[in-house]
Structure 1
Amino acid sequence: MTAPAPDNASNQFSERAAELRQLLTRAAHAYYVLDAPELEDAVYDQLYRELLDLETAHPELVSADSPTQRVGGTPSEGFASVAHRIPLFSLDNAFSAEELRSWYARLLKVLDREPQASEPLPALAMVGELKIDGNALALSYENGVLIRGTTRGDGEQGEEITTNVRTIASIPLRLQLDPPPWVEVRGEALIPDRTFAAINADRAARDEPLFANPRNACAGTLRQLDPKVVAARRLDFFAYTLHLPDNWEGPRPISQWECLSWLSSAGFRVNPNAALLPDLAAVETFFNSWDSQRHDLDYATDGVVVKLNDLRLQDSAGFTQKAPRWAIALKYPAEEAPSRLLRITCQVGRTGVITPVAEFEPVALAGTSVSRATLHNADRLAELDLHSGDTIVVRKAGEIIPEVLRVLSELRPEGALPLDLPHQCPSCASELVRESGEAATRCVNSSCPAILRGALRHWVSKGALDVEGMGGKLIEQLVERGLIRSISDLYGLDAALLSSLERMGEKSAENLISAMEASRSQPWARQLYGLGIHHVGEVNAKGLAAAFPDIDTLARTAVDHPEAISELHGIGPEITQSLQQWFNTPANQRLIKQLQDVGLSLASSEQERQELASRSSTDGVLSGQTVVLTGTLPSMSRTQAKELIEAAGGKVSGSVSKKTSFVLAGEEAGSKLEKANKLGISVIDEAGLVALLQSSQS
């Protein structure tokens, strides 16, 4: 009697395929739609390959909703969705020389160039390019001028982010050669490592969450509604794909290598490490040579892209449903290393956030020695299930940030104790607090030395009281020597005391005292922001300062009538709850009294009240209206237009929707104007806006 093994095996294959589809679909949604990756690239690639192999061996398992049958995710909301003139296909991956040769054999078969048994392998010229770990962009030019920049999206449609793309200096606004009627360029936006380090250092100084890696930082930056934020982060761009009209009779490239040259001549930055490779052996040599060299680059790369050089052969090879047959991404294995966990320490941020840090025996990763990695918060700690003496697997996320991937629990020492966050602050021994719905665990003692150092740095920062000369090292000395126990103590310092400190001369001390005195007259909104209340940034501080003339009024309202605060424009329940908690804390109440005693008004002047009132007018001609800006205005910048609209009570949005009151359009208006016309939304020009604003003054 024959056992029913085949049926059982078939059921097992089907169940595993369904499980893989579910895992990969969820991970793709988190990555492409939520911008919150759940799986490491190496893990995703491994699961994807397992599903692809299953479906190849068992075609009956292929379903229309399988991740192997699609390109990417759905464009996020908040930006206009536009169709790409030419689809952006993804690339198939290879993870070994054997898989590369299999791809090459398939390519030869498609091109009808398979060798006979006794013949050598035909040599096809290819181009090797580094696979940049960034974010793909599609750029559209008409008559040589950039008219649109979009994200990759799902390959068929992407998000229109032209305003942000224009801030990238390595993307030309006008092509530097005689162009055809239209040109489509593809390339990779990225944040170089040195820039990324500076961004994270700035965020750390502001006690803001750090970006995990340059790719995530780049993706988040491209989706910023404020182009000034994008410009400040100094993104870069490498161009690598060119599309020209079929009927254009001008000089045109006939190979990928010539396309790169054309792009360079047009003014694009092209990666200098590309190579023209005569055969498959040269491809393997190119790939192997960059395995170690890539760690010396100022950006992350996790492999090389191999493309057939001849464009006519590319056309002959064509595409599968999701990828070109004439190109492949040959990827390096993720660099990981095991190490023994020594201890978990905790850092205390300015707002009291406790960040656990794993300290382990040093390991070499990506060319550097690594012995520490952030564990983020209590949830990540619990997810890893760390025990004392555990063997952990560490890697550098995006080749930059060390992270703990997993625990090798099978190597756990007998009797090892589970590790968790402490219940008391490591700096002041106060009881730690974790609010419902928050991932962060905090110390709420405002007198905590660690919090005090952060609070002092924030108080004297440029956005707050702007005290030039009061740097981090000086603050460290003042706190360590017990010379300062509160922000208010800054105003009791004298030049003689300061000049006795390390690296402080008499002149520097006198200048610092003058700067401290000048800070007393900073506007009320800056003083409020300087207090470092959780969730109250510069913008929210201005709104609160406009609504409440002094700190006593704000405190009474926050404690007794918080609903009056939550009704303010832009102030949500998180800010309201944070204000209520801050003003209910006795230590903060003492701080307010101390600051007032040393001469800080914590109140707005008459002039400031008038200015704030005009900016936040609720009865202006544009009160309650939402305006979208698009294109270039003839006589004013977008920032100036935004300020005029907000001064008249209006709100400026970055995308057109049914809630949009009207669109202010200038020259080269793009998809926002098209969407407004489709929705029947009013469109005015700069002259119309000026007339509208003047009508309220007549």
Structure 2
Amino acid sequence: MNSNLDQYYERVKELRALLNKANYSYYVLDAPEIDDAIYDQLYRELIEIENIHPSLITDDSPSQRLGGIPSKGFKNVTHNIPLLSLDNAFNLNELEAWYARVRKLINSENKSIKEVNNPELICELKIDGNAVAIRYENGILTKAATRGDGKTGEDITNNIRTISTIPLRLLLKNPPTWMEIRGEAFMPNNIFKKLNLERKNTDQPLFANPRNSCAGTLRQLDPKIVASRKLDFFAYSLYLPEDWEPTDSNFKKPNSQSKSLEFLKNIGFKVNITYETKKNLNEANSYYKYWGIEKDSLAYATDGIVVKIDNFEIQNLLGATNKAPRWAIAVKYPAEEKPTKLKKLIFQVGRSGAVTPVAEFDSIELAGTSVNRATLHNAKRLASLDLHYEDTIIVRKAGEIIPEVIRVIKEFRTVDSQLVEFPQNCPSCDSKLIQEENEAITKCINFECPAKLKGRLRHWVSKGSMNIDGLGEKIINQLVNEGYVKSIADLYKLEIDSLLELERFGEKSANNLLIEINESKNKNWHKQLYGLGIPHIGEANAKSLSKNFHSIEELNAIAKDAPENISNIYGFGNEMKDAIIKWFDDSKNQTLIRELKEVGFSLKESLDLNDNLNQSNIFDGKIFVLTGTLDSLTRDKAKEFIEIAGGKVSSSISKKTDFLVSGEKAGSKLKKAQELGVKIINENELKLLLSEKTKFKNE
């Protein structure tokens, strides 16, 4: 190593250790040790050194979390240790039968173990995700693979690196030459809901459940997309060399599953803390019943429990079949299914023209919510159900977010019932529907279709876009049906006389709506961009685009002449880039841009914000929470100012919060902020901070 590298080597080593320890404390222990601002500063220093001296980059560097460039495909990986599945039990009687078999095997095969009549058990929740095998060599993550067929899986190392709860380097002073970790990658429920909302807003097919979305994410070729979806991971088993013993006095080689979970947590992994050791089967039954009631309160999906023999020596004695270990069994919760009567089937047309069959049925209670509608996704799914009008259908929502029709009870079908067929023509405009090759979606391609126009208008006035209060679905339907609005730009040409002809409009409400519509012209650039409804571009992606391209003209030119600059943005892949190119290539969208400019839209960075504020990032790294009613600023506007100044707005108070902006009728957040010692400011003080930039930066 030359003298130039010598001065950086020790510092890089120190930075890696500090950042990896901070990640462990934050993501695994949920007990942050350093402020975000300090973490960011250390991370930037590491990146700067690694950019200057790439030879110092190592596999365990936090900079390698993104996993590099997109893969061209997944290679097959042979599992050194087979990744077996679990046998299933579907009720407590089957669990009891398994336990009886286990005890019989122990006592018949026992050669060295003292006779055990009631081997101790450990119960864990069965996480509804995707099994992953991770290999470490000398403490460094080197390979990760899917289950596949148990013998051969797919190499997803780059994608696994993006999951913050998986350490890149183990917290062991003398790691073994190799170690294999097994666990479950999963998508938390709140992330799943957010992802599906974004897909709905960009007219993409919805994921059926968190497990499905996790599987799709792990098979993304671009690790940046995987990172943006914030997957999580619970480790549940490990394999070590037989001759390895830890030299660190804080560690002991585990001899049971319960001690194994403790070991995993201590070396850097997140484990599911709901596990419990049980002395007998009755206690295991109680665990099963308890979580059968409480599972819906969890932040992730679970479809059962796993019961294991805790002692490793007994596990080894019992061994495994070709498919599953004899010492463990998954006890599934029954899927919550209920019958109901199909009332009608409607075919919804989205703003992109995608036609979706939706079943409407008599209301039923599923997983704590009232359900009376369920999507059937597409024409293929509808055909497979063989659905007839007035059929009795079975609907389920087993730990999933979206209700689904799973089957029809044909025995209850009347003789003269008619088959529900997918329409050949658009139910809104009667245009011929098409199904593009290799796509499951059936589409209406008529740009002027009233249903598509209504969808575009609903998106334009939504909270994430123009947020036009008072312009709901019923009014949009009237405006389109009466012919007053034939494009988004027509909203800004409305006159009071037209509104007064609509239902429930008086002069005051009509004037208020026109004011709201007119004021929406001043919305920030990223909200205007999101409102345009470019496929695959949700709110977060629109913000990223707006920070990189400051006007519609600039984005248009980039899409035409240098589209690679789009896919270079963090979180963007070829699918998004291609969608943007295609959108700008459409002459009707160019007409929309021209019409919006004619009615007063800038379609560029907002001019009403101080230019110095845009450039200063005075709130860089600061976290704000808003509560109560502000006098002159709306919540959205206050959030907009804070974010443009580099800050973040959170919905909940914690020790990490820097400022609580408190207005009238502030609620529990104010009390919690006082208890935590968070700095509390009012609206005027927020404005003062925004204007006194130098003072703020020196505080």
| Aligned residue number for residue 404 of structure 1 | 405
Mapped pair 1:381 → 2:382: yes
Partner of 2:639: none
Aligned to 2:329: 328
Q: State the 1:489 CA deviation.
A: 3.0
Pairs within 5 Å for 1:384-463: 384-396=385-397, 398-422=399-423, 425-426=426-427, 428-435=428-435, 437=437, 438-456=439-457
Aligned to 2:9: none
User: 1:312 — aligned with what?
Assistant: 313
Task: Return closer, same or farther for 1:265/1:404 CA change in 2, 3 Å cut-off.
Answer: same
Cα distance change of structure 1 residues 435 and 509 upon mapping to structure 2, 3 Å threshold: closer
1:477-533 per-position Cα deviation (integer Å, ceiling 9, x unaligned): 8734636421343665799999976897999767532448x799x9xxx89x95758
Aligned mates of 2:139, 2:561 — CA distance in 1: 53
Q: How does 1:49-60 map to 2 (within 5 A)?
A: none
User: Relative to 1, partners in 2 of residues 1:480 and 1:353: Cα closer, same or farther, differing over 3 Å?
Assistant: same
Q: 2 CA distance for matches of 1:502 and 1:168?
A: 51
Deviation at 1:399, TM superposition (A): 2.7
Contact 1:356 1:375 (8 Å CA) reproduced = yes
Deviations 1:402-424 (CA, angstroms, capped at 9, x unpaired) = 11111111101342232234555
Whichever residue aligns with residue 89 of structure 1, its letter is L
| Residue segments in structure 1 that go unaligned for 5+ positions in a row | 1-75, 551-569, 603-698
Alignment of 1:145-160 (within 5 A): 145-160=140-155
Q: Structure 1's 196 and 79: CA in aligned 2 closer, same or farther, altered over 3 A?
A: same
In the alignment, structure 1 residue 171 sits paired with structure 2 residue 171: no
In structure 1, the residue matched to 2:521 is: 513
Q: d(CA) in 2 for partners of 1:314 and 1:144?
A: 26
Partner Cα distance (1:533, 1:323) in 2: 44
Deviation at 1:395, TM superposition (A): 1.1
Match of 1:268, SS state, is: coil
| Matching of residues 671-682 of structure 1 within 5 Å | none
2:489–2:592 contact (8 Å) kept in structure 1: yes
2:232 equivalent to 1:236: yes
Q: Which amino acid aligns with 1:390?
A: D
| Structure-2 separation of matches of 1:285 and 1:511 | 59
Task: Name the SS of the counterpart of 1:175 in structure 2.
Answer: coil
CA shift for structure 1 position 227: 1.9
1:186 aligns with 2:187: no
Q: CA deviation at 1:318?
A: 1.5
Change beyond 3 A, Cα 1:494–1:173: farther
Question: Aligned equivalents of 2:419 and 2:493: distance in 1?
Answer: 47
Matched, 1:346 2:347: yes
* Counterpart residue type for residue 404 of structure 1: V
Shift of 1:590: 7.2
Q: Which residue of 2 aligns with 1:38?
A: none
Q: What letter matches 1:385 in structure 2?
A: D
Q: 1:510 to 1:161 in 2, by over 3 A?
A: same
Q: Does 1:87 align with 2:87?
A: no
Distance 1:375 1:357 in 2: 6
Distance 2:402 2:560 in 1: 43
CA contact (8 A) 2:344 2:361 kept: yes
- Aligned twin of 1:261: 262
> For residues 185 and 559 of structure 2, what CA distance do their matches in structure 1 show?
41
In structure 1, how many angstroms separate the alpha carbons of the residues matched to 2:220 and 2:214? 10
Separation in 2 of the partners of 1:478 and 1:590?
25
Residue 106 in structure 1 maps to residue 101 in structure 2: yes
Which of 243, 247, 251 does residue 243 from structure 2 map onto? Answer: 247
TM-score by length of 1: 0.60
Q: Which residue in 1 is equivalent to 2:27?
A: none
**Given the alignment of the two structures, is residue 278 of structure 1 paired with residue 285 of structure 2, yes or no?**
no
Q: Quick one: which amino acid aligns to residue 158 of structure 1? A: G
Deviation at 1:596, TM superposition (A): 8.5
Hey, what's the Cα distance between the residues in 2 that align with 1:594 and 1:507? 20
1:235 to partner: Cα distance: 1.1
Q: CA deviation at 1:80?
A: 2.5
Look up the match of 1:201. 197
Deviations 1:290-328 (A, max 9, x none): 222223323222221111111111111112222211111
- The CA deviation at 1:580 is 13
Q: CA deviation at 1:150?
A: 2.0
2:126 paired with 1:128: no
Quote the RMSD (CA, aligned, Å): 4.6
Could you tell me how far apart the structure 2 residues matched to 1:512 and 1:77 are? Answer: 43
CA contact (8 A) 1:353 1:440 kept: yes
Q: Is the 8 A contact 1:83 1:156 kept in 2?
A: yes
Contact 1:495 1:513 in 2 (8 A): no
Question: CA–CA distance in 2 between the matches of 1:496 and 1:142?
Answer: 75
Query: Secondary structure, in 3 states, of the residue corresponding to 1:381?
Result: helix
Deviations 1:429-473 (A, max 9, x none): 4334133645433333323343124334667999xxxx9645697
What code does the residue aligned with 2:290 have? S
What is the CA distance between 1:383 and its match in structure 2? 2.3
Q: What code does the residue aligned with 1:450 have?
A: A
Matched, 1:479 2:487: no
Q: Write out per-residue CA displacement over residues 365-386 of structure 1, whole angstroms, 9 at most, x where no aligned residue.
A: 2233222111112232222222
Q: Which runs of 5+ in 2 are unaligned?
A: 1-70, 247-251, 500-506, 546-551, 563-573, 604-699
Residue 193 of structure 1 contacts residue 214 of structure 1 at CA under 8 Å; is this kept in 2? yes
Query: Given residue 315 of structure 1, which amino acid in structure 2 is its aligned partner?
Result: N
> Is 1:227–2:235 an aligned residue pair?
no
Deviations 1:202-236 (A, max 9, x none): 11011111001111100010111222211221111
- Residues of 1 paired with 2:602 and 2:244: CA distance? 70
One-letter identity of the residue aligned with 1:174: R
- Taking only the aligned residue pairs, the percentage that are identical comes to 48
Residue 127 of structure 1: how far off its partner (Å): 0.5
State the partner residue of 2:490.
489
CA contact (8 A) 1:126 1:278 kept: yes
Flag the 1:503–1:113 CA change in 2: closer, same or farther, 3 A. farther
Contact 1:126 1:277 in 2 (8 A): yes
What displacement does 1:136 show?
0.7
Tell whether the 8 Å contact from 2:189 to 2:210 is kept in structure 1 after alignment: yes
Secondary structure, counterpart of 2:323 in structure 1? coil
Conservation of the 8 A alpha-carbon contact between 1:82 and 1:157: yes
> Residues 615-626 of structure 1: matches in 2 within 5 Å?
none
Instruction: Supply the distance in 1 between the matched residues of 2:150 and 2:282 (Cα, whole angstroms).
Output: 32
Shift of 1:241: 0.4
Q: Which amino acid aligns with 1:80?
A: K
TM-score, reference length from structure 2: 0.60
Corresponding residue of 2:363: 362
What letter corresponds to residue 381 of structure 1 in structure 2?
L
**Structure 1 CA distance for aligned equivalents of residues 145 and 419 of structure 2:** 47
Shift in Å, 1:137:
1.1
Asked whether the equivalents of residues 296 and 399 of structure 2 are also in contact (C-alpha less than 8 Å), the reply is: no
The letter for the 2-side match of 1:193 is: N
8 Å CA contact 1:84, 1:158 repeated in 2: yes
Partners of 2:409 and 2:134 in 1: how far apart?
45
What number of residue pairs does the alignment pair up? 490
- d(CA) in 2 for partners of 1:531, 1:258: 52
Deviation per CA, 1:87-127, whole angstroms, max 9, x where unpaired?
Answer: 21111222233332332233233323599xxxx99111011
Query: Displacement, 1:393?
Result: 1.1
Letter in 1 for 2:435: E
Match of 1:199, SS?
Answer: helix
* 1:277 and 1:283 in contact (8 A); partners too: yes
What is the DSSP-based 3-state SS (H/G/I as helix, E as strand, rest coil) of the residue aligned with 1:100? helix
